[in-house]
Amino acid sequence: MVGLWRARDPGELMAILESLPLSGWMTIETTPLSPHPNDPIRSR
């Protein structure tokens, strides 16, 4: 399963994910993402 979550820092993200009902049975791996330099929304 793949999910897309936004958080201010890794600690906040882990707190969010650990609050999920089935977090005890989940294997969680995170990959930090960054905006693409050509993203038109960034130029606004």
In this structure, are residues 39 and 31 in contact, taking their beta carbons and an 8 Å threshold?
Answer: no
Read off the pLDDT of residues 11-33 as tens digits, 9 standing for 90 and up: 999 999 999 999 999 998 888 88
pLDDT confidence bin for 42, thresholds 50/70/90: low
* Rounded Cα–Cα distance for residues 10 and 18 (Å): 12
pTM over the 0.85 mark: no
Q: Which amino acid is at 13?
A: L
Helix (H) or strand (E) holding 11, with range, is: helix 10-18
Q: Which amino acid is at 18?
A: E
